[in-house]
Structure 1
Amino acid sequence: MLTGGTGFVGKALCAYLRQHGYHVITVGRADNVQARALDYQVISIDRQTEWTRILDDVDVVIHLAARGHVMKEQLANPLDAYRETNVDGTLNLARQAAKSGVRRFIFVSSIKVNGEQTLLGKPFAADDIPAPEDAYGISKLEAEQGLLILSKETEMEVVIIRPPLVYGPEVKENFASMMKFVASGVPLPFGAIYNQRSLVAIDNLVSLIITCIDHPAAVNQVFLVSDGEDVSTSDLLRRLAKAAGVSSRLIPIPAGLLNMGLTMLGKKMIAQRLLGSLQVDISKTQEMLGWAPPVSVDEGLLRCFDAEG
């Protein structure tokens, strides 16, 4: 059973699973505009949601559905809203899954559980002490903690995956905007940014999730995932331009000036993402699971534009 089956990752994962002979049941909220494509629709994903009839004969649950990270949060207490879906909703599903005899529960969490940024050359590791800084990251950590406790109380196995930014065909929001700016040939002031960031192509994330369905070493473990190659913002933009078949037009403005300007404009979080580093160490994932990213950064970026026709 796959929750969030109409989402960015969910659609790609569902397509792969079905192409390779898995029987997949997709579930999501009924208010989703693509809900008609789901096998089952639920009104909400919270502590009240009834899953029993859907879980009948399900061997593995892959839980993608969540209240996603909101850049411009309008709620007075966003943590309550995140907890309703990401903590209460996740643990309610997991408890019912364990009771129904589900063998394994794969939870796609977030690198935000580790934190928001790293020192250059000091990547996050899977077993680091978590340090989430926002409500979304806190809710994902609390869900992880509840799942690991549940795994000790029941026979259900739990696997947790924390991806950084995921990109690929049909990606939306900030990465889609970046692609659009690069493809348009608009000059961008990011030619002298020497940070390092880990990303993950959607094909690589799907590959790891598939590996975790049956791998015996994945039981009750936390894994980080990336493309295995970190890139600076400047390098990413140049490689995006190459993938789009256009010339990169980057102006080498110092990072300090950009940071000051963006901060003055109230864009501190955007400055952090564009100028700061966020690296992840996937050595545990590779060594325990014998896994390696099947798609390179350049191939992943090329597929983004190939999908646009």
Structure 2
Amino acid sequence: MKVLVTGSTGFVGSALTHALSESKQFEVVCGVRKAKSSLMKTIVFDLESAFEIESQLAGIDVVVHCAARVHQMYDNGLAPLDAYRRMNTTATLRLAEQAAAAGVKRFVFLSSIKVNGEQTLPGMPFTPQSKVCPDDPYGISKYEAEQALLALGQRSGMEIVIIRPPLVYGPGVRANFAKLVHIVQRGVPLPFGAIQNSRSLVYLGNLVDLMKVCLHHPKAANQVFLVSDDEDISTTQLLQKLAVAMGTKSRLVPVPAAWLMGLTKLLGKPEVGQRLCSSLQVDIRHTKETLDWTPPYRLGCALKHTVQK
């Protein structure tokens, strides 16, 4: 099977590319923005330009689209929704249209749980049937891309597979998760010892394993899949487990979550309080039952891999 992976130098794309290249089942082609010396085959194109690569897609069986303008908590650029749409919606559809015209059989799109929203009520996790409610430019652009892809699939017959992960962590993770790891490692006292929320995360290895299944599983066609480690955890528990994984002590002060939410609002950063204190759960029963799939890595082991590599 010949697979094109876009975003092949990114956090998820590079891990997927490495995993596929180790298997004799797959011939990997990397979608890259700039030509560079590599042992792998590449297709060079810039998603932010009017690219034309239909002829180069001949013979490709599956496109896995990981490239995107990624979510940034504080995006102060001009017209941020336009920027996200240009990269995540318009360019995605352009790529998919050329893939369909070239005879590509399946298009796997790495979306985001932000399509569903930012938080869930206790005991009410997101499912593939949940009402969508994106409330930031990133989530909106991903949802619009999903809708455009599904419509294209109906017109062209190309199979569409959509995967919505929550926060992805693993070796080399950056942004907020990396900051948490660094703070815990330093032993800084943190006021997060009494947060009783519940959040779904997904380890990079679990996400890549699901993506590999979605390349060929017949029941994956034209489906939306949610993914997680299937082990929800509170912010307090996460920090405690990170400390254990690093062989250090967690220094957590039990400050009520309501106080933390109020403080972050006063500081003008309510998003920080929401992500630390609110719940965001996903129900992956549909994914497991449809694909006969179970996350291969357990949470404790995954956290150790994350902090030790």
User: Normalising by structure 1, what TM-score?
Assistant: 0.95
Q: Please, which moves more after superposition, 75-84 or 85-94?
A: 75-84
1:185 paired with 2:187, answer yes
Q: Structure 2: how far apart are the matches of 1:167 and 1:28?
A: 23
Q: 1:41 to 1:154 in 2, by over 3 A?
A: closer
Q: 1:36 to 1:189 in 2, by over 3 A?
A: farther
Aligned to 1:110: 112
- Unpaired runs of 5+ residues, structure 2, are none
Aligned to 2:225: 223
Of 8, 28, 33 in structure 2, the residue corresponding to residue 24 of structure 1 is: 28
What is the CA deviation profile of residues 83-137 of structure 1, one whole-angstrom value per residue up to 9, with x for unaligned ones?
1111110000000000101010000000000001001111011121211001110
Q: Structure 2: how far apart are the matches of 1:142 and 1:203?
A: 27
Q: How many residues align?
A: 304
- Unpaired runs of 5+ residues, structure 1, are none
Tell me the SS of whatever aligns to 1:187: coil
Aligned to 1:11: 14
1:276 paired with 2:274, answer no
Q: Structure 2: how far apart are the matches of 1:99 and 1:80?
A: 27
Report how far residue 281 of structure 1 moved. 0.5
Q: Structure 2: how far apart are the matches of 1:36 and 1:139?
A: 33
Answer whether contact 1:127 1:222 (CA < 8 A) is retained: no
Report how far residue 42 of structure 1 moved. 4.0
AA aligned to 2:57 is L
AA aligned to 1:10 is G
Q: 1:270 to 1:4 in 2, by over 3 A?
A: same
Report how far residue 47 of structure 1 moved. 6.7
Tell me the SS of whatever aligns to 2:224: strand
Of 53, 64, 74 in structure 1, the residue corresponding to residue 66 of structure 2 is: 64
Q: Structure 1: how far apart are the matches of 2:131 and 2:48?
A: 27
Answer whether contact 2:43 2:56 (CA < 8 A) is retained: no
Tell me the SS of whatever aligns to 1:112: helix
AA aligned to 1:26 is C
AA aligned to 2:264 is L
Report how far residue 266 of structure 1 moved. 1.3
Aligned to 1:143: 145
Tell me the SS of whatever aligns to 1:188: coil
Aligned to 2:163: 161
User: Normalising by structure 2, what TM-score?
Assistant: 0.95
What is the CA deviation profile of residues 114-161 of structure 1, one whole-angstrom value per residue up to 9, with x for unaligned ones?
001001111011121211001110100000001100111112100000
What is the CA deviation profile of residues 60-93 of structure 1, one whole-angstrom value per residue up to 9, with x for unaligned ones?
0000000111221122311111111111100000
Of 60, 82, 85 in structure 2, the residue corresponding to residue 83 of structure 1 is: 85
Q: Structure 1: how far apart are the matches of 2:121 and 2:72?
A: 25
What is the CA deviation profile of residues 253-290 of structure 1, one whole-angstrom value per residue up to 9, with x for unaligned ones?
11111111111111111111101000001010011111
Aligned to 2:129: 127
1:89-108 aligned within 5 A: 89-108=91-110
Report how far residue 29 of structure 1 moved. 2.1
Q: Structure 2: how far apart are the matches of 1:297 and 1:270?
A: 23
Tell me the SS of whatever aligns to 2:28: coil
Tell me the SS of whatever aligns to 1:26: strand
AA aligned to 1:114 is N
Aligned to 1:44: 46
Q: Structure 2: how far apart are the matches of 1:40 and 1:26?
A: 5
Q: Structure 2: how far apart are the matches of 1:156 and 1:224?
A: 21
Report how far residue 24 of structure 1 moved. 0.5
Report how far residue 30 of structure 1 moved. 2.6
What is the CA deviation profile of residues 234-256 of structure 1, one whole-angstrom value per residue up to 9, with x for unaligned ones?
00000000111111111101111
Report how far residue 46 of structure 1 moved. 4.0
Instruction: Report sequence identity in percent.
Output: 51
Q: 1:218 to 1:41 in 2, by over 3 A?
A: closer
Answer whether contact 2:31 2:45 (CA < 8 A) is retained: no
Q: Structure 1: how far apart are the matches of 2:99 and 2:45?
A: 18
Q: 1:83 to 1:75 in 2, by over 3 A?
A: same
Report how far residue 51 of structure 1 moved. 1.7
Report how far residue 43 of structure 1 moved. 5.2
Q: Structure 2: how far apart are the matches of 1:86 and 1:218?
A: 22
